Structure 1
């Protein structure tokens, strides 16, 4: 495997993940681009608690407006908490919520079987088990600190 193959695999896996995520409540439409943005921001917040929106934007390379929107969505879902920066009351600091909200639990519990079967073009149970086991191996090796794995 080379860097291009790895990148394309990552993109394919992101698409499968997006398809596996449960629809937002209230009949809201699925927005793949913003889902990626929200997940990138959530990941950064997990790694860097008590960060200002501008700091998150600088680390992720996302425009500050997209980071602000993602933080608002995460806050609405109960995934993050915000508080004024004691050193500069104009800034807002963001951190993961102390408790797991119902929506966060729902998203973390989402099942990938249907999305994986669609991506593979097969519902062969043995093939799905093999691919899922390979994905579990990769996740254990490369992303052991993911919230859903702890």
Structure 2
């Protein structure tokens, strides 16, 4: 596998992950870029609690406006809370909510098998299980901290 193939595989996996996400009540969350932005911001906030929007934008490479929108969606879903920065009251600091909201619990409880089966062309269940297990191995070894190790 070369870098291009890996990139394309990663993109395919992101699309499958987006397809596995449950629709929120009221719909209107199926905007591919929005899903990715929200997940990228959620991951960053998890790793860096009490970060300002600008800091999240710098770390993720997302435009500040996208980060602000993602934070608003995460706040609406009950996944994060914001508070004024004691050192600079104009800035808001973002951190994960202490309690899981119903929406966050729903998203975390959703499995990938149906989306994976659809992406694989509805193969026999043992093939879906095999691919799912391979993805679990990759997830154990390639954590969200992997890109930072590459830069460091």
TM-score (normalizing by structure 2): 0.91
In structure 1, the partner of 2:73 is 73
Aligned CA distance change for structure 1 residues 71 and 29 (closer, same or farther; 3 Å): closer
Q: CA deviation at 1:116?
A: 0.5
C-alpha contact (below 8 Å) 1:41/1:56 kept by paired residues:
yes
1:45-124 aligned at under 5 Å gives the runs 45-124=45-124
Q: Which runs of 5+ in 2 are unaligned?
A: 146-152
C-alpha contact (below 8 Å) 2:43/2:144 kept by paired residues:
no
| Deviation readout 1:15-47 (Å, 9 max, x if unpaired) | 000000000111325111100000011111111
Q: Which runs of 5+ in 1 are unaligned?
A: 146-150
| Deviation readout 1:92-115 (Å, 9 max, x if unpaired) | 000011111110010011121111
Superposed structure 1 runs of 4+ greater than 3 Å apart: none
Matches of 1:56 and 1:62 in 2, distance apart?
Answer: 8
C-alpha contact (below 8 Å) 1:24/1:30 kept by paired residues:
no
Count, aligned residues:
145
In structure 1, the partner of 2:150 is none
In structure 2, the partner of 1:33 is 33
Matches of 1:131 and 1:47 in 2, distance apart?
Answer: 28
RMSD over aligned Cα, in angstroms?
Answer: 1.3
